[in-house]
Amino acid sequence: MLHNFIRKNILLSEGQGIDHTLIICFAALISIGFIMITSATLDHAYDTRGNSFYFIVKHSIYLVIGIILSVIISRIKLSFYHDYSKIFLFLALIISLSVFFPGLGREVNGAKRWVDLGFITIQVSEISRLFIMFWVCSFICRSDIDKVFNKCLFMIIILSIIILFQRDFGSTALLISTFFAIMLVAGLNWKKLTLYLSLAFIAAIPLIIYQPYRLKRVISFLNPWDDPTGSGYQLIASLLAFGKGGIFGLGLGSSVQKLNYLPESYNDFIFALIAEELGLLFTLVIIILFTIVFFRIIRLANISYDNSLKFASYISFTIGFFITFQALIHILVNIGLAPTKGMGLPFISYGGTNLLMMFIYVGLLVRIQIENRQKISQAVQREY
């Protein structure tokens, strides 16, 4: 029985517990991102910064920092996050509120989502999302899901309200959807889940109506040609990029939309840029890579649960949902199936905080794999 279990999970136990398929997919996504950011920013950087390599150099620095972070995180035992989960909950709330501190928060286009530390600007919701999920995952490991659900939901609502005041509706949606997905995995009753999801949807309606810019985005999403030079401009430019690219694309570096026609082509609309330059077939390759990543992470989560590493299992699920939901939202926005929302494509889009968080996720996944391998090794030693 034990030998069959080890053989079933042999890929996990090879190479110091590293899932090479998962790492290769991450490396492929990061490489695609670097190439596309280079293509998207050369002209833009020269026009705005006087240096064609400005964004590439910054992105490269974030990549190096990210790799270092991954190595450091992979060496920290998961019990650290489990044991100090209440401190992480406290930090999640404090970090989110820090954007409202005078002289610390930075406002861009009416949104106050960033903290300016001088040498780096951090989007705090990226960090607070992970921190509060440490607490949620730890909390549901300690007690029955029906007993802890309301307490977890209450804290998620508190953090979501703070993020909404930062005018970051996308991060709120990502946090809430991931939370309910974890609750479902943990065994929450379907009827109860459906009820709370319905209430969340109903609560989102006045939030959209109350803020004119959100309402305008929804209206422009339904018919962007009603306001082609205003709220519908980005979506129209994105759809044009897909149309021009066709099946095989115009060729790397040949995008027309990136020449100041498609705003944020290296960030929020990089998927559209990929479609224009490399075509529909290559966008399918990216979707396949994200699909493989999702199922490998879910596999890791299930293996962790079988190994009685419950906290590791829930953290794996959380990371899998964070990455997949963010990628899904980005792609749906780019192809016109969701309202325009400032959310990058994981591992591919330009952006400091989000990219660093992706590397932190990688470090956590590597650590989870290592602890699974250690668990299996201990079982083998007890057997003999």
Cα 354 from Cα 356, distance rounded (Å): 5
Q: Is 327 in a helix, a strand, or coil?
A: helix
Which two structure tokens, joined as six digits, stand for 98? Answer: 């820090």
**pLDDT attached to residue 349:** 94
pTM for the complete prediction? Answer: 0.90
The better pLDDT of the pair 30, 234 is held by 30
How many angstroms from the chain centroid is the CA of residue 147?
Answer: 29
Cβ atoms < 10 Å from Cβ of 124 = 25
pLDDT at 115 over 80: yes
Q: What is the pLDDT of residues 27-77, one digit of tens each?
A: 999 999 999 999 999 888 888 888 889 999 999 999 999 999 999 999 999
> Does residue 183 contact residue 149 with C-beta atoms inside 8 Å?
yes
pLDDT band at 90 (very low <50, low <70, confident <90, very high): very high
> Does residue 139 contact residue 82 with C-beta atoms inside 8 Å?
no
Strands 121-123 and 105-108: unpaired
163-167, long-range: CB within 8 Å, 24+ apart, which pairs? 163/96, 163/125, 163/128, 164/207, 165/100, 165/112, 166/96, 166/99, 166/111, 166/112, 166/113, 166/124, 166/125, 167/110, 167/111, 167/112, 167/113, 167/211
The better pLDDT of the pair 315, 190 is held by 315
pLDDT at 241 over 80: yes
Residue with tokens 């209430």: 199
Q: What is the pLDDT of residues 189-209, one digit of tens each?
A: 888 888 888 887 787 777 666
Give the lowest-confidence range in 30-39, 74-83, 119-128, 179-188. Answer: 119-128
Cα 355 from Cα 70, distance rounded (Å): 11
